[in-house]
Amino acid sequence: MAALRLTMGGGNWFSALALGVTLLKCLLIPTYHSTDFEVHRNWLAITHSLPVSQWYYEATSEWTLDYPPFFAWFEYALSHVAKYFDQEMLNVRNLNYSSTRTLLFQRFSVILTDALFVYAVHECCKCIDGKKAGKELTEKPKFILSVLLLWNFGLLIVDHIHFQYNGFLFGLMLLSIARLFQKRHMEGAFLFAVLLHFKHIYLYVAPAYGTYLLRSYCFTANKPDGSVRWNSFSFVRLLSLGLIVFLVSALSLGPFLAMNQLPQVLSRLFPFKRGLCHAYWAPNFWALYNTLDKVLSVLGLELKLLDSNKIPKASMTSGLVQQFQHTVLPSVTPLATLICTLIAILPSVFCLWFKPQGPRGFLRCLILCALSSFLFGWHVHEKAILLAVLPMSLLSVGKAGDASIFLILTTTGHYSLFPLLFTAPELPIKILLMLLFTIYSISSLKTLFRREKPLFNWLEMFYLLGLGPLEVFCEFVFPFTSWKLKYPFIPLLLTSVYCAAGITYAWFKLYVSVLTDPPSGKTKKQ
Amino acid sequence: MEKWHLMTIVVLIGLTVRWTVSLNSYSGAGKPPMFGDYEAQRHWQEITFNLPVKQWYFNSSDNNLQYWGLDYPPLTAYHSLLCAYVAEFINPDWIALHTSHGYESQAHKLFMRTTVLIADLLIYIPAVVLYSCCLKEISTKKKIANVLCILLYPGLILIDYGHFQYNSVSLGFALWGVLGVSCDWDLLGSLAFCLAINYKQMELYHSLPFFCFLLGKCFKKGLKGKGFVLLIKLACTVVASFILCWLPFCTETEQTLQVLRRLFPVDRGLFEDKVANIWCSFSIFLKIKDIWPHHFQIIISFCFTFLSLLPACIKLTLQPSSKGFRFTLVSCALSFFLFSFQVHEKSILLVSLPVCLVLSEIPFMSTWFLLVSTFSMLPLLLKDGLLMPLVVTTMAFFIACATSFSIFEKTSEEELQLKSFSLSVRKYLPYFTFLSRIIQYLFLVSVITMVLLTLMTVTLDPPQKLPDLFSVLVCFVSCLHFLFFLVYFNIIIMWDSKGGRNQKKIN
C-alpha cells in the first residue's frame, strides 16, 4: 500500500504523465503502419542472419540498411529478443512479413526504448529554472515542458503510428543537451557522438555542437566584453573531446574500415541519387521554389512565352514522383543545396562564436542549424522537422518571444506531418491528437506568459487558424470534387506550401531574435 | 490555464481513447453463422430500413426473430433507422434485406464505429461535462479531473467501442435525467429518463430511485398544494413521452403486446452465460436453473430484488436529497444486477454509471468498484479479443483516478462516509476502530486477486473437466465484491442524515 501510495501519490505528476502517454502508445498498436515497419523488420533479419561483413551489401529487399553501424547493432540486439516472439520475422527472404507477434514485438520495442526519451525529458526538466513557477502545478514551466516533450504529437504519430525509432534517438539528443546545460560537457559530447552513429541525420546540428564545445569548453575564459580570450585555450580539453569522438567513431566504423567496406557504407548512408524533394514535399524552401516554378510555367503557357512542347510531361504529377524537373527556374543540384544550407547555417554559428550566451545560445544555434538544413537540404523528409521542434520546446518555456516562435513552428510542422497518415481509421486519431497537443501548447504557454504581450499578432493568428479550413478542404471537400482524378497532388501541394510559409517565417523570426539579441554579459544574471 | 481549455483537452483525451479502442475487433468478428452484437445492430438497421414499422417486432419470412430479432424498445429501432439512412447513402449493400447478413468490411466497421462515436459525442459526453460542472463543493480542477475519470471509465468504452453497443445513448439519457432532476428541472429530467427507458429497457434498473425521488419531492412540497401540481405535471410528461415514442405501436393492442413480449422475454433463463450475480454464483453449488421451476425462479428473484432495494427507496422517498438520490441509484441498480431475472454481464454498466456520479464524493470506493465492474466483464472481453485495450484502459483509468483524487490518502472513515456508521457501532463495540484499515487491506487483496485471476485466465488452459473454470471464478469473485459494495452503499444511505446530525453534535 505504501509503495502504491508513493508511486501514485498526487505529487508524482511526472510518472503519471509518462505512464499516461505510454498507455496511449499501447493503444496505438493496432493502427496503420507504413513501409518503415517492413524496413525495420528487414534490418532485424539482415543483422540477425548475416555476418557483419554482409550487412551493408545485402540487397534482397529494396529497403537496404542505410543507417550507421550503431543502429545496425541496435537492431542486432533487438533481434535476439525478437527470436523469442517469432523466428520467421528474422528471415531475410520473408519480405513484407507481419504476423501479430511481429507487430507486437516491433511496436513494443519502440515503446520500451522510449524509456530513454522519458529519462532525457526528466533530465531536461531539471535544467529549466523554476523561478517563474506559479503556484499551480499545471502552470509550472517544468510541467508544461514535460507535457510538450512527452506528449509531442509528431513523435507520437511518427514513431507509434507511422513506425520509426525516433523516440530513443531524440532521447539521446535531449540527454546530451541536458548534459551540456549541466556543464557535463564530456558526457554531452560523448552522447552526441554516439547519436551520430545511430542516425546520421543529426549531422545537421553538428556545427552547433562543434562550435559550442570549442568556444565555451575549450576556451575556459572570456574577456570582459564577452569576446574570446585566446590564451585561455585548454589543449587538454580539446584533446579529450577529440579522443571521445575518435573512439566512438572507431568503435562504429572501425570494423568496416578493417574490412575495407567504408566506401560502401558511406554510399548507403548518403544516397544522393534520390531527388531534391521526398515523395511528399517537405514544407521547406524547395517546396516554395518548385511551386513558384510551376506557377511561372503555367503563366508562361498562358501568356505564350513558353513552348508547351518543350515542357516535360511529368511535371504535372509533381509531388507524387520523386524526380522533379524545373521548367522555368534553374534546376537544383545537391551541391547547390549544400551551399545554400551552409550559407543559412553560418550566421548562427558565427553568432554562437562571437556572442556566446551559454547553453541557451547553443540551443538556439542548434535549432537554427536544424531548421536551416530542413529548409535548404537535399531530399529532406517532413519528419526531420522534429529535429527543430523538440529542442525548441526547451526554449519555449523560457521566454515569451521563443514561445511564440515555438507555437508557429510546432503547429505548422506538425500539420505538415498529416499526409504521413492517409488511411481513414487514422484520420480521427491524427486530428484529435493534433488538437490535443495544439490546444494544450497554446493555452499553457499563453498562461505562462500572460503578463507579457500577446504571443501572436493578428497575421500569425490568422495564419494558424487557416490550418483548420485547409484540413477541411484537403480531407473532406477535395476527395468529393472532380479534381480528385485530374490533380490528385493538390492537397499535398497545398499542405506543403502552406506549411513551408509558416516554417520559413518561424526560421526567419528566430534568426532575427538571435541576431538582434543583446550580447552576452547579461547572461550572467541567470 | 483557462479552465475550459483544460476541459476541452480532457474531452479530447476521452475521444482519442475511444477511437483507438474502436480500432480493435468487435464481438463476433468473422464468426458465422450468428456473429455478435455488431451484427445485431447492423441487422436492426437492415430490418428497420426495409420493413414497415408494423413488422419490426413480428416474426415473418423477412424478419427471422431467431436471428437477432429486434428486442429493444422503439427508440433503439428509430436510431437504427436513422443510421440505416446514412448507410444507404454510403453503400446500400450494408443494409440490403437478406443478402447483407453477416456483412463485414473495413469500411463498414469504420461506419459503425463512427455512429457510436457520434451518438456518444452528442449525448453522453456533454452530459458528463455538464454534470461535473454542476457539482457543488469541489474546485474547478477537481471538476475537470472528475470528467477525465468518468470519460476514461474502461467498462463503457470497451463495451461500446470494442464489443459494440450503444450504451452511451441510454446511459447518456439517464445521466441527463439525473442532471435534470438534481437541478430541479424535474420535467426535463423525467423526459430524458423516459427517453433512456425507451432506448433500452434495462434502464428500468434506475427507475425506482427516479420515481421515489420525484415522489419524495412532491411529498415535501405538500400533496395538497404545489406537490400535487408537480405530480400531475410529471405524470403527464411521462405518459406523453411514452406515447410519443410508442406512437406507431399504440394503434393496435396486438402490436403493443408483441413489443412488450420482445422486450421482456420471461421465458428465457434466470441468467445468461456467466454473470457476476447471486444466481449464477449460487449455481456453482446448486444448479438452481434446472432444479427450481421456472415461475418459482421469477418469483424468488423478484422477492429478493424487492427486499434488497426497499430500505433505500423508502428512505429516499421520506428524505429526498440529491446526494441520497445518487447513492440510491447505485444501490438499486446493484440490487437489480445481483438479484433480478435475466441479467446480462453488460448490465453492470447500469451500476457503474451512478457510481461514476459519486466518484468525487467517495473516490476510493468508487474507483475500486469501477475496477471490479470492468474485471467482471473479463470473460466477455476476452472472447472479443480485447485483452490489450482492456489492460491499457484499466491502467489508464486507475492512474487517472489515483493521481487526480489521490485515492490512497482518502481512506479515513470520514472520507469513506462511514463515520456515522462506525460511531453507532462503537456504541456497542468500543474497539471497532479498524474499519478503514480493513478496507485498505481488502482493496489490496482484491486487486491482487483480480490481477492474478486475469493472468491465469489469459495464460493457463483450464482443466478439461472444467472448461469454464476461470470465467466462473471471475464471476464468483466479482459477485462477492458486488455483495460487499451493496452492503457498503446501503450503509451510506441508511446512516446518511444521521451523520449530519452526529457531526453537528461533535462539533
**pLDDT class of A321 with cuts at 50, 70, 90:** very low
Closest CA to A517 of A357, A400, A349: A357
- Number of domains observed in the structure of chain B: 1
What value, to the nearest 5°, has the Cα angle with vertex A163 and ends A157 and A165? 100
The answer to whether the beta carbons of residues A358 and A524 sit under 8 Å apart is no
Whether residue B408 and residue A433 make contact (CB cut-off 8 A), yes or no, is: no
Task: Respond yes or no on whether the N-terminal peptide bond of residue A141 is cis (omega within 30° of 0).
Answer: no
Cell numbers that stand for A261 in this block: 567496406
For residue A23, list chain B residues with Cβ-Cβ distance below 8 A: 392-393, 395-396, 399
Rounded to the nearest angstrom, the minimum Cα separation between A432 and chain B is 6
| Strand ranges (E), B153-227 | none
Give A276's pLDDT tier (boundaries 50, 70, 90).
Answer: low
Residues in A touching B90 (Cβ below 8 Å): none
Please tell me the distance from the alpha carbon of residue A175 to that of residue A182, in angstroms, as a whole number.
Answer: 10
Measured CA to CA, the distance from residue A514 to residue B1 in angstroms comes to: 29
Q: Nearest-CA distance from B393 to chain A in Å?
A: 8
Option in A1, A20, A436 nearest B399 (CB): A20
Q: What pLDDT score was predicted for residue A95?
A: 87
Residue B69 falls inside a structural domain: no
pLDDT of residue A209: 93
Rounded Cα distance between A105 and A515, Å, is 47
**Omega within 30 of 0 (cis) for the link into B33:** yes
Question: Which residues of B make CB contacts under 8 Å with A?
Answer: 1-2, 5-6, 8-9, 12-13, 15-17, 19-21, 23-24, 106-107, 110, 117, 388-389, 392-393, 395-396, 399-400, 402-403, 406, 408-409, 440, 444
Give the per-residue pLDDT at A280: 61
Residue whose entry in the numeric block shows the C-alpha cell 452492503: B487
Domain that holds residue B164: 3-29+104-506
What is the number of H-type helices and E-type strands within chain A?
A: 21, 0
In sequence order, the 6+-apart residues with CB closer than 8 A to the CB of A450 are none
Which pLDDT value is given to residue A278? Answer: 63
Chain B residues touching residue A479 (CB < 8 angstroms): none
| Residue A54 pLDDT greater than 70, yes or no | yes
Of the candidates A23, A28, A138, which has its C-beta nearest B395's C-beta?
Answer: A23
- Whether residue A356 is predicted with pLDDT greater than 90 in this model: the reply is no
Which of A31, A138, A436 comes nearest B1 by C-beta? A138
- Name the amino acid, one letter, at B60: S
Contact yes or no for A424 and B8 at CB 8 A: no
CB contact under 8 A, A432 and B444: no
- Whether residue B53 is contained in a domain is answered as no
Interface contact A27-B5, CB threshold 8 A? no
A23–B392 C-beta distance less than 8 A: yes
* B80 within domain boundaries: no
At A208-267, the pLDDT tens digits run 999 999 988 888 877 777 777 788 888 899 999 999 999 999 999 999 999 998 989 988
Close Cβ partners of B268 (under 8 Å, ≥ 6 residues apart): B342
- pLDDT score recorded for residue A398: 87
- What are the phi and psi torsion angles at A277 (to 5°)? -115, 155
Residues B420/B425/B426/B429 CA torsion (nearest 10 deg): -170
Q: For residue A65, what are the contacts with CB-CB under 8 A and spacing of at least 6?
A: A43, A46, A47, A55, A56, A58, A72, A268
Write the pLDDT tens digit of every residue in B276-305: 888 888 888 888 878 888 888 889 999 999
Q: Would you state the pLDDT for residue B272?
A: 76
Mean pLDDT of chain B: 90
Asked if residue B455 has pLDDT above 90, the reply is yes
CB B155 within 8 A of CB B370: yes
Comparing alpha-carbon positions, the chain B residue that sits nearest to A11 is B403
The residue from A172, A190, A206 where one domain ends is: A172
- Over 90: is that where the pLDDT of A517 sits? no
Q: Which residue in this structure is represented by grid cell 521566454?
A: A399
User: Is it the case that residue A287 has pLDDT exceeding 80?
Assistant: yes
Q: Per residue in A64-98, is it b (16+ CB within 10 Å) or e — as a string?
A: bbbbbbbbbbbbbebbeebeebbeebbebebeebe
Inter-chain touch A436–B13, beta carbons under 8 Å: yes
Residues 6+ apart with CB under 8 A from A366: A177, A205, A208, A209, A391
Q: Is the dihedral of CA B490, B494, B496, B498 positive or negative?
A: negative
Residues 6+ apart with CB under 8 A from B252: none
Nearest CA in chain A to B13: A436
Q: For residue A10, give the nearest of B5, B9, B403 by CB distance.
A: B403
Q: Across chain A, which distance is largest between two alpha carbons, in Å?
A: 81
Closest in B1, B388, B406 to A26, CB measured: B388
* Smallest Cα distance from B265 to chain A, Å: 38
User: Where residue A130 falls among pLDDT bands split at 50, 70, 90?
Assistant: low
Task: Flag whether A323 is in a domain.
Answer: no
Structure confidence at residue A131 (pLDDT): 61
The domain in which residue A398 lies consists of: 379-520
d(CA B271, CA B340): 9
| Region of residue A319 (phi > 0: left; psi between -120 and 50: alpha; otherwise: beta) | left
Q: For residue B386, give the nearest of B15, B27, B14, B11 by alpha carbon.
A: B27
- Most A CBs within 10 Å, among B24, B120, B161, B408, to test the A interface: B408
**Residue found by looking up cell 487558424 in the block:** A465
Residue A318 placed within a domain: no
Average the pLDDT over A271-283 and give the result.
69
Cβ contact, residue pair B16, A432, below 8 Å: yes
pLDDT of residue B462 exceeding 90: no
How far away is chain A from the Cα of B39, in angstroms, using its nearest Cα?
20
A26/B392 CB distance under 8 A: yes
- Residue B37 covered by a domain: no
Chain B residues with beta carbon closer than 8 angstroms to that of A432:
12, 15-16, 19
* CA-based max dimension of chain B: 73
Of A27, A433, A435, the CB nearest to B389: A27
Among the partner residues A9, A425, A439, nearest to B9 by beta-carbon distance: A439
Contact B16 A424 (CB under 8 A): no
| Confidence band for A134, pLDDT divided at 50, 70 and 90 | low
Q: φ and ψ at A397, to 5 degrees?
A: -85, 0
pLDDT recorded at residue A279? 59
8 Å CB contact of B9 and A440: yes
pLDDT at A525: 37
The 10s digit of each residue's pLDDT in B365-379 is 999 999 999 999 999
The pLDDT assigned to B1 comes to 63
Residue B423: inside a domain: yes
Round to whole Å and give the CA distance between B68 and B47: 10
Q: In this complex, do B12 and A425 lie within 8 Å of one another by their Cβ atoms?
A: no
Q: How far is A8 from chain B (nearest CA, A)?
A: 6
Q: What is the mean pLDDT of residues A78-90?
A: 91
The answer to whether the CB atoms of A19 and B107 lie below 8 A apart is: no
Q: From B264, B459, B486, select the one nearest B373 (Cα to Cα).
A: B486
Pairwise CB contact (< 8 Å): B9 & A27: no
Q: Which residues of A touch B (CB under 8 A)?
A: 1, 4-5, 8-10, 12-13, 16, 19-20, 23-24, 26-31, 138-139, 424-425, 428-429, 432-433, 435-436, 439-440, 443-444, 447
Q: Which residue of B has its CA nearest to A12?
A: B403
A475 in any annotated domain: yes
Distance in Å, alpha carbon of A22 to nearest chain B alpha carbon? 9
For residue B294, what pLDDT is reported? 83
A444 contact residues in B (CB cutoff 8 A): 1
Q: Which of A152, A172, A192 is the last residue of a domain?
A: A172
- The reply to whether B124 falls in a domain is yes
Find, among A347, A432, A358, the residue nearest to A395 by Cα: A358
Alpha-carbon span B266 to B341, nearest angstrom: 8
- What is the per-residue pLDDT across B102-156, written as a single tens digit (0 to 9) for each? 899 999 999 999 999 999 999 999 999 999 998 887 888 889 999 999 999 999 9
Size of interface A-B (CB pairs under 8 A): 88
Mind listing the pLDDT tens digit for each residue in B11-39? 999 999 999 999 999 998 888 888 999 99
Please count the structural domains in chain A. 2
Residues B1, A444: C-beta atoms closer than 8 Å: yes
- Tell me, what's the pLDDT at B466? 85
Joined together, the cell numbers standing for residue A100 give 501479430
Domain boundary among A125, A146, A172: A172
> Distance (Å, rounded) from C-alpha B482 to C-alpha B329?
15
Strand partners, A277: A380
* DSSP per-residue codes, A141-194: HHHHHHHHHHT-HHHHHIIIIII--HHHHHHHHHHHHHHHHTT-HHHHHHHHHH
Residue B416 pLDDT more than 80?
A: yes
Average per-residue pLDDT for chain A: 86
Cell of A43: 534490418
Q: What is the DSSP letter of B124?
A: I
Flag whether A3 is in a domain: no
* Cβ-contact B177, B234 below 8 angstroms: no
Q: In this complex, which of A9, A433, A443 lies closest to B5 when CB atoms are compared?
A: A443
| Residue A16 with chain B: CB contacts under 8 Å | 399, 403
Q: What is the pLDDT of residue B295?
A: 85
Nearest to A30 among B5, B23, B106 (CB): B23
pLDDT tens digits along A429-480: 999 999 999 999 999 999 989 888 888 899 999 999 999 999 999 989 998 8
Q: In this structure, what DSSP letter does residue A331 have? A: P
Selected for mutation to probe chain B from A432, A440, A449 (highest B CB count within 10 Å) is A432
Integer CA distances (angstroms), B61 to A39, A81, A212, B70, B244, in order: 54, 57, 82, 15, 29
Q: Is residue B63 part of a domain?
A: no
Q: What does the pLDDT read at residue A323?
A: 54
The mean pLDDT of B164-182, rounded to a whole number, is 95
Distance between CA atoms of residues B293 and B272, nearest Å? 17
In a domain, A42, yes or no: yes
Stretch A406-427: mean pLDDT: 93
Query: Which residue among B117, B393, B403 sits closest to A13, beta carbon to beta carbon?
Result: B403
> Closest approach of chain B CAs to the CA of A46, in angstroms?
30
Instruction: Categorise residue B319: left if φ over 0, alpha if ψ from -120 to 50, beta otherwise.
Output: beta
Q: What is the 3-state secondary structure (H, E, C) of B391-414?
A: HHHHHHHHHHHHHHHCHHHCCCCC
B84 within domain boundaries:
no
